[in-house]
């Protein structure tokens, strides 16, 4: 699992069908991953609960900007 894989999931969840914000969205996903690792400890991106937390936090950040 990579950030690019998470980007595909994120865009599907948020119903984003264009690529113009991909770099921004990848940055949000990376920041979300780092924030959650700092709060919860290190985990692999293959961890489904970790993925869910990253996607939820990135979604919140995306909607608040």
pLDDT in tens, 2-54: 999 999 999 999 999 999 999 999 999 999 999 999 999 999 999 999 999 99
Is residue 48 helix, strand or coil?
Answer: helix
Q: Is the pTM of this model over 0.85?
A: yes
Q: With the C-alpha atoms ordered 26, 44, 14, 5, is the resulting torsion angle positive or negative?
A: positive
Please state the domain extents for the chain.
Answer: 3-64
- The C-alpha R_g of the chain, in whole angstroms, comes to 11
């Amino acid at each position: 699992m990579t950030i690019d894989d998470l980007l595909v999931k994120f865009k599907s969840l948020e119903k984003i069908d264009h690529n113009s914000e991909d770099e921004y969205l990848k940055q949000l996903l990376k920041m979300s991953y780092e924030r959650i690792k700092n709060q919860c400890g290190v985990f692999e991106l293959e961890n489904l609960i970790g993925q869910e937390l990253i996607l939820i936090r990135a979604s919140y950040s995306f909607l608040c900007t």
